[in-house]
Structure 1
Amino acid sequence: MNKKRIAIQGIRGSFHEEAAFKHFGEDIETIECDSFKATCEALKHKKADYVVMAIENSIAGSLLPNYNLLQEYRFAIIGETYLNIQLHLLALPGVKLEDIKFVESHPIALRQCGDFFDEHPHLKVSEGMDTAACAKKIADNKLTNTAAVANNLAAKLYGLEVLDRRIETNKKNYTRFLILAPTATENPKANKASISFQTDNSIGSLAKILNYFADNNINLSKIQSMPVLGRRNEYIFHVDLEWQTLAEYEKAIRKTLKRTVNFNILGEYEKNEKV
């Protein structure tokens, strides 16, 4: 039986691969991509079966360029998963903290470890493209004076040791990942949806639409506005909805269709609680 091919931004050992393992299990083929757009291209050209894409972080906020990719490619969102982002200081076996002069990682990961670097001002911090790639660089080049900020998966994969564990400043740090597929499949357990739409510029137009959901007991778990490219004062709204009763959700959607333009259901899937 062929393994599922999962496209991720970054290389093996990254948080994206960890999220893929969490959703699909570890018996998968990871397709490494240099960018989020490249993951979409891999799915479009059937070089991957699914994409795992970060969409928001509890500290850094929304990844706005990825909302543009959702609009551009129109893949189906078939699921979501959350990771508690735990960041460790990794180095070659036998290297001690006092040997370290340089630390490399993804810029967002470095920013999330500000307190640690304040306590170790002698460390020179530099940005890399990916947490796992920085770990791999240390292993490949046998760098004894450099550490990486990455996860346990990268440490295990590239043979590094944890010098200092959980160096992130905020321990309640979560990233939400979307699972994308070429087309939607019916999910009888679906109780969450991601939709997008535009409204006119009349007073209260958005409020009226949001009230349709409130009137039908639909919880709005997220609202994200994005400018429409090339059009002044026009915005597209991305909304995540959660429901208890399918009939109420469908009723709210029917009403919303009448009041919006460029309406799209990006995906209907099962809500995944943070773990």
Structure 2
Amino acid sequence: MKTERETIMVFTGEQQSSMARYLQMKRQIRAPRAAGLIAYSGTQGSYAEEACIRFFGDDRLFIPHKSFGDVFKTITGGGADYGVVPIENSTTGAINENYDLLIRYQASIVGEVLIPVHHCLLGVPGAKISDIQSVYSHEQGFYQSRDFLSKYPEWALVPYHNTAVAAKMVHDAGDKSKAAIASRRAAQIHHLDVLAGPINGADNNTTRFIVVSRMPENRPGRNKISLRFTLKDEPGALYHLLGIFDAEHLNLSKIESRPIPASQWHYQFFMDFIGDIDEDHLDAIIGQVMAHTRSFEFLGFYPHG
């Protein structure tokens, strides 16, 4: 009698397309490159730059970009070897824009790094909290520091695309009434005073950054897989799919649903799982997963951070 893994599976047209993309991805797997250029969103002193240094070391050339989209354009266009972007925060959850960009640019996750987040209120030298009238930061910085900010309802909160860029702007403005929410490292680099901090509510606040590349890589210690899929419209579809991971003794570390913009009340799922998996075992698992899904994207196979 055949086991579930050995059962012959018949795929629909959309499933066949998903399998073809997966097999094409496997043919493109390469050894890790000696990184020369690494793209990231932000500027010196940003958490993304810290993630770059943590993953690659400090002897590489890190190229700042104004947006996450610019990072993906650069790596897929060959302007950098790797890109580093945030994908989720332990307090505020997923950064959905970067999931969308992963799919749009068909980039591969080849690594991850976890960076503790310690936001501080930064001002120009000599400024006091009583001087502050407006505060600049990324929206995530505001949300993660909301308990502290609630004590100062008179402050105007001005969103910026990056915390460290906000810190640089405050330095360049030279105005005691302006402050930024960013890291202590941003304060050191941009010559600002720490007026208060850490001010984010959660002591263990951490951002997970992913390292992305044009091509998948065979990095040593690969044990984490990221997927995106949509389910068949049938009873128990998600239940049966999750049963695969239980049967294979794999640790499901993340699953999140998001609406599909062009399909009302239909959802896509993003999933991460961890396990001691070789190539043949992975192929078998992917085949089983595809049997329970309508569409499927393999986002990466990489070492758990």
TM-score by length of 2: 0.81
Q: Does 1:206 align with 2:206?
A: no
Q: More displaced, 41-50 or 115-124?
A: 115-124
Say which of 149, 162, 169 aligns to 2:181.
149
Q: More displaced, 3-12 or 135-144?
A: 3-12
Q: More displaced, 24-33 or 93-102?
A: 93-102
Q: Is the 8 A contact 2:119 2:181 kept in 1?
A: yes
The superposition leaves residues 212-255 of structure 1 with CA deviations (integer Å, 9 ceiling, x where unpaired) of 11101011111122344423444332210111353655442232
The residue matched to 2:85 in structure 1 has which SS? strand
Q: Does 1:244 align with 2:283?
A: no
User: How far apart are the structure 2 equivalents of 1:127 and 1:196?
Assistant: 30
Q: Does 1:55 align with 2:87?
A: yes
Residue 303 of structure 2: aligned partner: 270
Q: Which runs of 5 or more residues in structure 1 are unaligned?
A: none
The superposition leaves residues 46-73 of structure 1 with CA deviations (integer Å, 9 ceiling, x where unpaired) of 1121111111112211122221111111
Residue 91 of structure 1: aligned partner: 123
Residue 8 of structure 1: aligned partner: 40
Tell me the C-alpha RMSD between the 2 structures. Answer: 2.1
Q: Is the 8 A contact 1:90 1:150 kept in 2?
A: yes
* One-letter identity of the residue aligned with 2:273: L
Residue 158 of structure 1: aligned partner: 190
Q: Does 1:257 align with 2:271?
A: no
Say which of 86, 89, 110 aligns to 1:78.
110
Q: Is the 8 A contact 2:67 2:161 kept in 1?
A: no
The residue matched to 2:150 in structure 1 has which SS? helix
Q: More displaced, 200-209 or 117-126?
A: 117-126
Q: More displaced, 118-127 or 66-75?
A: 118-127
Say which of 229, 246, 256 aligns to 1:197.
229
Q: Which runs of 5 or more residues in structure 2 are unaligned?
A: 1-33
Q: More displaced, 177-186 or 116-125?
A: 116-125
The superposition leaves residues 82-134 of structure 1 with CA deviations (integer Å, 9 ceiling, x where unpaired) of 11110011122233333333322122212222222233445443322321122
Residue 67 of structure 1: aligned partner: 99
* One-letter identity of the residue aligned with 1:148: A
Q: More displaced, 226-235 or 168-177?
A: 226-235
C-alpha displacement at 1:260, in angstroms? 2.9
Change (3 A) 1:82 1:236: same
User: How far apart are the structure 2 equivalents of 1:264 and 1:128?
Assistant: 32
C-alpha displacement at 1:143, in angstroms? 1.5
Matches within 5 A, 1:161-200: 161-200=193-232
Change (3 A) 1:200 1:124: closer
Change (3 A) 1:232 1:147: closer
* One-letter identity of the residue aligned with 1:31: I
Q: More displaced, 71-80 or 242-251?
A: 242-251
Equivalenced residue count is: 271
Identity of aligned residues (%): 32
Question: Any runs of at least 4 consecutive aligned residues in structure 1 with deviations exceeding 4 A, and if so which?
Answer: 247-250
Q: More displaced, 124-133 or 72-81?
A: 124-133
User: How far apart are the structure 2 equivalents of 1:77 and 1:3?
Assistant: 15
Q: Is the 8 A contact 1:88 1:167 kept in 2?
A: yes
The residue matched to 2:198 in structure 1 has which SS? coil
* One-letter identity of the residue aligned with 1:258: A
